[in-house]
Amino acid sequence: MFKQIRPAISVLAFMTLVTGVVYPLTVTGVAQLAFPAQANGSLLRSQHGEVVGSALLAQPFEGPQWFQPRLSAAGYATVASGASNLAPSNPALAERIAADAQRLQAEGQGAVPMQLVTTSGSGLDPHLSPDAARYQVARVAAARGIPSSRLERLIEQHVQSPLVGPPVVNVLALNLALADNSPPAKAE
């Protein structure tokens, strides 16, 4: 019996070492060498060098002076990320969307983009469509006392075109640029 158990234990120990130690260390080392920013969380920093978040995760912003990301059913918590599990036919979902759309509705701007009243599948999507970001320009411009044209240019500078899918704007990166921007010159 020991003849059969000994090879099994040896294979288990060997495979544990290979798949539990050697492979993870190799992959981590290659990732650190080839893609250090991504391997360390795609962190975004303020102009002072402080980490303010990850380019891969949405986070809330307080006040009308900031661009707002998509809503999060989990309160932007990474541990409890996920959708609300409300079916499209659920009256509670329709009521919440209607209330959010009414809250966000701005005079003369048309319908509120769906991205601003619905959550993503994970509840942590850091991106908005350029149209959803532009919809917020009037509110942010009024709160900050800066021209809308300046915010439009800032959005255009932050539009990313992924390999697959439509163009997007990272809300955290956009708000960082907004925070780092100095007040406009009088000529604008």
Instruction: State the average pLDDT over residues 167-177.
Output: 92
**3-state DSSP call for residue 111?**
coil
pLDDT tops 90 at residue 49: no
Task: Indicate the domain borders of the chain.
Answer: 1-40, 42-180
CA distances 95 to 22, 34, 122, Å, are 52, 48, 21
Q: Binning pLDDT at 50, 70 and 90, where does residue 181 land?
A: low
